[in-house]
Amino acid sequence: MNKKFFDRDARIVARDLLGYEIRRRIGPRVVRAVITETEAYVGPHDKASHAHRGLTKRTAPMFGNPGTIYVYLVYGMHHCLNLVTREKGYPAAVLIRAVRLLPSGTLINGPGRAARALSITTFFNNKNILTDKRLILGPRYLTPKRIHTTPRIGVPYAGEWAHKPLRFLIE
């Protein structure tokens, strides 16, 4: 896993991340999970993206280097984990919406639950998954046979962008 992996269109990265292992190190303990659902937020023209309104304090991480971790708080209580794609200065990211814990295989559905399962808070905001010791991508755990595609969840305000097939799932 390297910078080039993330320096690509968010749609490509969102599909490629499916089946990869993500590891959260908490002291001596490691939480392992397989990414099973993602969404792509493709650029500043994407009306569903936080970056649609431009560079703000909140969205600054989305304009960062490939592999930058973007964590935000929604509804005052849930954290959402995103990985920034494309070159520095171009805001795009992939939202991690679901994972399967290893080795149990327990499915953790929903971005808030997935972030919580990995103990992700805003501590990780603006860090980089390529260099951080506490959150890393592991090896590919499986190669998806079939990738299902649907519109993204919870973005009815995004006009035409609400319908675009930018949510990706396996199993």
Binding site residues, DNA, CB under 7 A: 39, 41, 48-51, 53-54, 56-59, 62, 70, 73-78, 80, 82, 93, 95, 109-114, 152-155, 157
3-state secondary structure of 124: helix
23 vs 58, which CB is nearer to DNA? 58
Distance of closest approach, residue 23 Cβ to DNA, in angstroms = 20
> Looking at beta carbons only, is 110 or 143 nearer to DNA?
110
Alpha-carbon gap, residue 155 to 153, rounded angstroms: 6
Contact 42, 120 (CB under 8 A): no
Question: Whole-number minimum distance, CB 70 to DNA, in Å?
Answer: 7
Tokens of 15: 């599909």
* Phi-psi sector, 19: left (phi>0), alpha (psi -120 to 50), beta: left
Least distance between DNA and beta carbon 21 (Å): 20
Closer to DNA by Cβ: residue 28 or 161? 161
CA-based Rg of the chain, rounded to a whole angstrom?
15
Is the CB of residue 104 less than 8 Å from the CB of residue 28?
no
The least CB distance from residue 97 to DNA, in Å, is 7
Please tell me the distance from the alpha carbon of residue 69 to that of residue 37, in angstroms, as a whole number: 17
Shortest Å distance, C-beta 145 to DNA: 25
Both structure tokens of 90: 């171009």
Residue 64 has which token pair?
């960062």
Q: Which is nearer to DNA, 102 or 107 (CB)?
A: 107
